[in-house]
Amino acid sequence: MNTEDLQISAGKLEETLIEFSQKDVEASALYADLKPLLKLVKDGVITTPWEWGQIPGRYWFSERGLQAYEQLEQAFATFCIELTGGETPALKWMREFRSQDN
């Protein structure tokens, strides 16, 4: 787990949540759910990877309509990847493979 990357992704997610919270009540509710976790990350308290199931908010995108906001969904996904230990070799390979197709 790279704590610097995790803190950067937490900051980007928080900025994005603040932006979309002004547009959508669901984004505001997601921000309220994630705010304590984001603070722990920014304060450097979290130093070991979490399991995917421990991360609050993962259902807000599919069940509450937030998947309409690609920028927010991407920021959340990046944060979750960092919180769970960073990119796996398989994910890195997939990203490289997909970028070659473009």
Per-residue model confidence (pLDDT) at position 65: 84
- List the domain boundaries for the chain: 3-101
Please tell me the distance from the alpha carbon of residue 21 to that of residue 6, in angstroms, as a whole number.
22
CA–CA dist 12, 37 (Å, integer): 14
Mean pLDDT value of segment 43-49: 94
**Higher model confidence: residue 88 or residue 80?**
80
Mean pLDDT of 52-73: 89
For the cut 90, the answer to whether the pLDDT of residue 101 exceeds it is no
Higher-confidence residue of 97 and 81: namely 81
Q: How far apart are CA 36 and CA 78, in angstroms?
A: 18
